[in-house]
Amino acid sequence: MSILQIALDVPLPRLFDYRHDGDLPENAVGRLAKVPFGTGSRVGVVLGVVEQSDQPAEKLKSAELLGELPALPADWLELCRFCARYYHHPLGQVMAFALPPLLRKGKKPRPIKPKVGAGETAEGRRASNMETAPSSNAATADQAAAIDAIVKASGFQTFLLHGVTGSGKTEVYLRAIEAVLARGGQALMLVPEIALTPQLESRVSARFPGAHVVSAHSGVADAARARAFLAALEGRAAIVLGTRLSVFMPMPALRLIVVDEEHDASFKQQEGLRYSARDVAIYRARQRDIPIVLGSATPSLETFHHAESGRYTRLELPERAVAAAELPTVVTVDTRRQKLQDGLSAELIAAVGERLRRGEQSLLFLNRRGYAPVLACPACGWISHCRRCAANLVLHLADRRLRCHHCGLEATIPHHCPDCGNLDLQPFGRGTQRLEAKLAEQFPEARTLRIDRDSADSPKKWQALLAAIHAGEADILVGTQMLAKGHDFPKLTLVGVVGADAALFAADFRAPERLFAQIMQVGGRSGRHDLPGAVLIQTEYPDHPLYRALVEHDYTAFANAQLAEREGAGFPPFAFQAMLRAEARELKEALAFLHAAVSSAPTFAEVLLYDPVPMRLARLKNRERAQLLVESRSRPALQGFLTQWMAALYGLKTPRELRWHLDVDPLEF
Ligand code: ADP
Ligand code: ZN
Ligand code: ZN
């Protein structure tokens, strides 16, 4: 009798032993197996076959191998093991996360009729012998040098493709992918959450008409996702294009990984397995001994630091690819010297008016949705707050609701103050809806379009909005960062940045980095074609170094200044961090757990534990939350510490209601 060691989707860092009756196929490791567990059954992954179990043989239950599904390859299993080790997450849960839901249930997707063209198509085609539709443009000299370096790389090498907005980074990716496909390899291209649009999918498919391109993101239906996974696993899919979770696509002939907009926060998952897809992708490239390209106009400081130190190879595209396109002119408007009209300066209003006369588009960037962040009573000081979170309810006038942006709680707008009865409740502050209303009033003849998560709350609406902008059906766009990435609107020549100052003084040490990237990205939408573009930043701090660097288009100066500050303060990338978080019904329970965690921590000279503190959003959905930061100058020391510490933490007695997790390399504080 053989004993199978199986990884199951349970929150325990161990494998489970099961019996296998009858003949065992040769390659049992990596196969899915259905096993009885508790009162039901589960599907897990076989990770080992042994003769002996720690448990008495008669106690072992029997596993059923799911033979009709292909075995998962060894490098995929190892990738999951790495994530389990590095993020200190139970291996069975890592695998359950990495598998498409259908396979996790032990089901095989029904095949679809092959159809060649785009998206999930051309089942059965080999990845080799690819015809490609050549790009109509000759590569610029900078592009050619970058492509050449990537194509010539032998073995593992990390490239930072640092190119200004519109410099033709995508073209570099596509040509590097072309070279990989010509040699029969597979390529993986990761893009941020909202950058993965049908436009990008069709751009890639159109470029490789004979190739089987699959896309993978959370919006793909279960059956399609499972088919994409199998197509990648069986080597039929030549290109996998997807958001962070596609870093887990098994690809036996993987020869190149691209991470576009590598600085984007959506590559880090904020729940369950808190992995960074960019970092996992780098591990994977090393594991497979292949090149990886990290592309951005505003690289993360971690990546920039590695390029400075020479660990990553820097490739630069300092100019826009379209010959006639220049980088936009960036200016600040000092708003201390004038009275704003509903948040808009005379300069910005005039600039929008001029674009209207010329038949060009303007985009006003305000990273706050809703009408106003809070509704308040001037008589008694009442404000609209969420009863489940330590946060305000945001006023949404479009559908006349108050809404919590953290937990989704909704309420009707009160007709009078709930505390004192005052009828005159006032909105405070400004969101995209209010800006939209103001613009409609100021420019009644213009067609104004608002783009945020409310107006684009489904992929369908989002596509419709993008199509309307492309068709020139809007003169003024008002939007959040949804519009910042990847889009190319030929008639857009003005970007106005409104209400960005608050982020200059946020407590989070990463806030300036994010703000700089956002403004540079959104400003980069302007003047991408033959019309010159402008960016106008309204601020009370026109001399702030962050804005000065934006005016100068000087990412490098900004990055170096930030790195110097971080080095002085001992922040990443000069230190490595992990965050232990706990949530409970009462704050004191969460804090008590964290204090117990401190007491049970092993002593490591190089590892520093901070005091447990309430999280910035201390209450979310009626749960009180606290956190404990752990830091070290040495990654191996931190990892060694965490491994020992986690074993102790799993042994701590906790109140039934308490939940805790560890976040390695946290982005949110
Ligand atoms: P990025 O990803 O760097 O923002 P894109 O790859 O989207 O830039 O390219 C920006 C624009 O430049 C696109 O319209 C693209 O078609 C065009 N482009 C890219 N490479 C070239 C080239 N070599 N010659 C002319 N136009 C190009
Ligand atoms: Zn009141
Ligand atoms: Zn809430």
Please tell me the number of the ligand nearest to residue 421's CA.
Answer: 2
Measuring from atom 25 of ligand 1, which residue has the nearest CA? 322
Rounded to the nearest angstrom, the distance between the alpha carbon of 393 and the centre of ligand 3 is 7
> Is position 470 within any domain?
yes
**Facing residues of 6 across strands?**
16, 46
Based on the fold, state whether residues 483 and 368 are members of the same structural domain. yes
Based on the fold, state whether residues 363 and 302 are members of the same structural domain. no
pLDDT of residue 126: 42
Based on the fold, state whether residues 481 and 618 are members of the same structural domain. no
The DSSP call for residue 36 is: E
pLDDT of residue 118: 42
> Is position 360 within any domain?
yes
* Closest among 669, 514, 523, 654 to 589, alpha carbons compared: 654
Atom of ligand 1 nearest to the CA of 171: 6
Q: Are 598 and 628 in contact (CB under 8 A)?
A: yes
Two structure tokens written together for 595:
């204090």
pLDDT of residue 54: 87
Domain count, the chain: 4
Based on the fold, state whether residues 602 and 557 are members of the same structural domain. no
139 Cβ inside 6 Å of ligand 1: yes
Indicate which CATH number applies to the domain containing 644.
3.30.70.600
Integer Cα distance of 157 and 315 in angstroms: 12
The DSSP call for residue 341 is: B
Based on the fold, state whether residues 470 and 345 are members of the same structural domain. yes
Measuring from atom 16 of ligand 1, which residue has the nearest CA? 168
> Is position 434 within any domain?
yes
Please tell me the number of the ligand nearest to residue 390's CA.
Answer: 3
Based on the fold, state whether residues 183 and 211 are members of the same structural domain. yes
pLDDT of residue 195: 67
167 Cβ inside 6 Å of ligand 1: yes
Please tell me the number of the ligand nearest to residue 620's CA.
Answer: 3
**pTM for this entry:** 0.93
299 Cβ inside 6 Å of ligand 1: no
137 Cβ inside 6 Å of ligand 1: yes
Rounded to the nearest angstrom, the distance between the alpha carbon of 187 and the centre of ligand 3 is 41
Based on the fold, state whether residues 189 and 334 are members of the same structural domain. no
Integer Cα distance of 535 and 493 in angstroms: 8
Rounded to the nearest angstrom, the distance between the alpha carbon of 219 and the centre of ligand 1 is 27
Pairing of strands 607-609, 492-497: unpaired
Two structure tokens written together for 369:
């949705």
pLDDT digits (tens, 9 = 90+) for 345-367: 999 999 999 999 999 999 999 99
166 Cβ inside 6 Å of ligand 1: yes
171 Cβ inside 6 Å of ligand 1: yes
> Is position 380 within any domain?
no
Based on the fold, state whether residues 365 and 267 are members of the same structural domain. no
Indicate which CATH number applies to the domain containing 171.
3.40.50.300
Integer Cα distance of 411 and 317 in angstroms: 50
The domain in which residue 75 lies consists of 2-104
DSSP 382-426: -B-B-SSSSSBPEEETTTTEEE-TTT--EEEPPSS-TTT--S--E
Indicate which CATH number applies to the domain containing 62.
3.40.1440.60
> Is position 379 within any domain?
no
Q: Are 663 and 578 in contact (CB under 8 A)?
A: yes
> Is position 570 within any domain?
no
pLDDT of residue 587: 96
Of 147, 298, 322, the residue with max ligand 1 atoms within 8 A of its CB, to mutate for a pocket test, comes to: 322
Question: Which of 50, 75, 104 is where one domain is finished?
Answer: 104
Two structure tokens written together for 331:
């200016």
pLDDT of residue 115: 52
Based on the fold, state whether residues 12 and 34 are members of the same structural domain. yes
169 Cβ inside 6 Å of ligand 1: yes
Based on the fold, state whether residues 243 and 301 are members of the same structural domain. yes
Of 171, 172, 522, the residue with max ligand 1 atoms within 8 A of its CB, to mutate for a pocket test, comes to: 171
Rounded to the nearest angstrom, the distance between the alpha carbon of 327 and the centre of ligand 1 is 13
Integer Cα distance of 376 and 393 in angstroms: 10
**Facing residues of 494 across strands?**
362, 534
Q: Are 226 and 218 in contact (CB under 8 A)?
A: no
The enclosing H or E element of 375 equals strand 374-376
Cis-peptide, bond into residue 444, ω within 30° of zero: no
Based on the fold, state whether residues 310 and 343 are members of the same structural domain. no
> Is position 381 within any domain?
no
> Is position 393 within any domain?
no
Q: Please list the ranges in the chain whose pLDDT falls under 50.
A: 117-129
Q: Are 242 and 216 in contact (CB under 8 A)?
A: yes
pLDDT of residue 483: 82
Pairing of strands 426-428, 374-376: antiparallel
Atom of ligand 1 nearest to the CA of 165: 4
CA 205 to chain centre: 23
Integer Cα distance of 242 and 263 in angstroms: 16
527 Cβ inside 6 Å of ligand 1: no
Q: Are 409 and 351 in contact (CB under 8 A)?
A: no
pLDDT of residue 157: 98
143 Cβ inside 6 Å of ligand 1: yes
Based on the fold, state whether residues 537 and 582 are members of the same structural domain. no
**Facing residues of 186 across strands?**
254
pLDDT digits (tens, 9 = 90+) for 628-640: 999 999 999 999 9
Question: Which of 272, 289, 317 is where one domain is finished?
Answer: 317
pLDDT of residue 376: 97
Question: Which of 546, 565, 584 is where one domain is finished?
Answer: 565
Q: Are 260 and 278 in contact (CB under 8 A)?
A: no
168 Cβ inside 6 Å of ligand 1: yes
Two structure tokens written together for 349:
């209003």
